[in-house]
Amino acid sequence: MTSNISPKILELTQRKLLLKPHHPLSILKQKIYEFFHRNYPNTFTTEDNFDPKVPVKNNFDLLLIPENHPSRSLSDTYYFGPDTVLRTHTTAHDFYMLSKYNAFLLAGDVYRRDEIDAKHYPAFHQLEGGRVWKLSELGLSTYEQGTKYAVEELKTTLESLAKEVFGNVEMRWNEEYFPFTDPSLELEIRWMDDWLEILGCGAYKKQVLLNAGRDEETFGWAFGLGLERWAMKVFEIPDIRLFWTQDERFTTQFSAEKGFSKFTPYSKYPVCYKDISFWVPEFFAENDFFEVVRNVGGDLVEKVDKIDCFTKNGRTSYCYRINYRSMDRSLTNEEIDQLQFQLRDLLPKQLSVELR
Ligand code: PHE
């Protein structure tokens, strides 16, 4: 099996945005850590510099993610080889943390092959928390009582965390599904007249805790949240690519001292769009197409939309519109034409599509 990880993605693994104290993602991470340290002194151990390269076992198997689950596929996940991936979530580290600590917080960059727009980027950041107890320690007699206790504690904790970060917002809990927790829940907040999902969580399944080397009477909770999703709201950052820019007009706006300051947009440069149409081969994964586009256009690609699809004589044709826009400068038509040329050259070679 060959790796599906491009050099561009490998570069991102070196950026370590969470370790830059004045980066908005890092400021947010720090605020969340502080919330837990203040409310539960000397309880949570934090960790934010684990290698994103993890065994398939930790990312999927031990978390009871089924063998045929779509998130395991080559079109969704970056594989170094058959047994190693770029973590798709920070939950991959829960086994290690649970083998050492009863309560932990952990943040890291995670990677998923995905569509392209202002909210999706193949790399983003998660902050994870976990806490366990033994039944005897709390004087409980059944596992059900433990689970109930954990879920109540989890809900109150996360509600007050959300209040601290987002202010006095309306909130609601929905049932969710994760293979490694039961029950599983998601928290939504009311934000600008919409409901926004801000985290997933639940009580660890007993088998997951056993997989982590814990005993039959250990129970507890876990949660995971997407830092970009939170940061885009509290700092008012409109495009996910901005987190990765090295433009000083972005990087100098934030500081740990200023906390949750609002981003002042610098001028938005004009968009330049180009369409590309091709006959779709028998085996075609849209994420492979997005990846080629990203490899050619990098962060100049703002958004890719499928704008047409038709079938003729048993063959299907797609047309995609690629929106190019720089965060930092004006683009010339010539340079975009250049990128489009490269794309037209690479697509038939890499994906066996026939251009139209
Ligand atoms: N790992 C889950 C995700 O990436 C989030 C999660 C973490 C859910 C911990 C439950 C418990 O979507």
- What pLDDT, on the 0 to 100 scale, is given for residue 205? 98
What residues line ligand 1, using a CB cutoff of 6 Å?
89, 91, 128, 178, 181, 200-202, 222-224
CB 298 within 8 A of CB 326: no
Measured in Å, residue 108 CA sits from the centre of ligand 1 at: 13
Q: Is the peptide bond before 82 cis (omega within 30 degrees of 0)?
A: no
How many other C-beta atoms are found inside a 10 Å radius of the C-beta of residue 37? 14
Q: Which residue, judged by its Cα, is nearest atom 4 of ligand 1?
A: 89
Distance CA 199, CA 347 (A): 37
As a whole number, the mean pLDDT across the chain is 96
Q: Is 278 left (phi over 0), alpha (psi -120 to 50) or beta?
A: beta
- What pLDDT, on the 0 to 100 scale, is given for residue 189? 98
For 290-312, write each residue's pLDDT tens digit.
999 999 999 999 999 999 999 99
Res. 185: pLDDT tops 90: yes
The share of the chain scoring above pLDDT 90, in percent, equals 95
Token pair 């290698």 in the structure block, residue? 51
Question: In a mutational test of the pocket of ligand 1, which residue from 69, 71, 91 has the highest number of ligand atoms less than 8 Å from its CB?
Answer: 91
Res. 99: pLDDT tops 80: yes
Distance of CA 27 to the CA centre of its chain: 17
**Dihedral angle at the C-alpha atoms of 145, 149, 154, 156, nearest 10 degrees?**
140
Stretch 24-31: mean pLDDT: 98
pLDDT band at 287 (very low <50, low <70, confident <90, very high): very high
Measured in Å, residue 280 CA sits from the centre of ligand 1 at: 34
Measured in Å, residue 337 CA sits from the centre of ligand 1 at: 41
Distance CA 169, CA 36 (A): 20
CB 123 within 8 A of CB 9: yes
Atom of ligand 1 nearest to the CA of 221: 11
- What pLDDT, on the 0 to 100 scale, is given for residue 177? 97
- What pLDDT, on the 0 to 100 scale, is given for residue 266? 85
pLDDT band at 267 (very low <50, low <70, confident <90, very high): confident
Token pair 């502080």 in the structure block, residue? 34
- What pLDDT, on the 0 to 100 scale, is given for residue 2? 83
Atom of ligand 1 nearest to the CA of 89: 4
pLDDT band at 225 (very low <50, low <70, confident <90, very high): very high
Stretch 267-284: mean pLDDT: 92
Q: What is the pTM of this model?
A: 0.90
- What pLDDT, on the 0 to 100 scale, is given for residue 328? 84
CB 132 within 8 A of CB 149: no
- What pLDDT, on the 0 to 100 scale, is given for residue 228? 98
